[in-house]
A = this chain, B = another copy of it.
Amino acid sequence: MSRKAQHSDIAFRKHDHRRCQRELLSGAQQLCARRKQRLTSRRRQVFEILLASHQPLGAYDILAAMNRVGNLERIAPPIVYRALDFLMGEGLIHRIESKNAFITCVDPGHRCAAQFLICRDCDQVAELETEDASLVAAAADLGFAVDHSVVEITGVCAECQKHGG
């Protein structure tokens, strides 16, 4: 079994999510510091909301979480979208196109195109970082210069297959 597979199934296995969160947060802080980018409190707030979630969240879910904190402020959409743009720009989160949602990157800094396995039952997402050699080859054949790739596989994870029937 490949390293990728070991890596990939984090979302589909029990693990210490608390620790996972702490590590990703401090990793993000270090990464931003190294790049002279500012992980401001708003940006961190959005990042932490995503970290705390086991599922991808829509921008308005994040917005609701921010407004739910019982305080007086009423956050508006652009604030969330701007924080999301920043976090995506730094590779700290990914956008799941087929769900209009966002999720933390399991391995920021490691700049390889991500691929996602999305369970339509439990809504969890596993991030892989395999590379599709045949697709890369086909693109090269056509002289197509790749910028960005979206690979999102929807289905049912092993756990949900057991339970769901």
Contact = CB atoms under 8 A, between A and B. Distances in A.
Contacts of A150: 97-98, 150-154
B138 A8 contact: yes
Contacts of A5: 138, 141-142
Nearest to A142: B9
Q: Which of A135, A142, A148, A161 has the most CB of B within 10 A?
A: A142
A147 B152 contact: no
Interface residues of A, number: 42
A69 interface: no
A86 interface: no
Nearest to A143: B158
A158 B142 contact: yes
A120 interface: yes
Number of copies: 2
Interface stretch (A23-31, A44-52, A123-131): A123-131
Contacts of A153: 135, 139, 144, 146-150
Contact of A135 (B9, B12, B132, B144): B132
A148 B155 CA distance: 7
Contact of A131 (B2, B98, B134, B147): B134
A157 interface: yes
A4 to B, nearest CB: 6
Q: Which of A8, A126, A135 has the most CB of B within 10 A?
A: A135
Contacts of A128: 135, 138
A132 B139 CA distance: 13
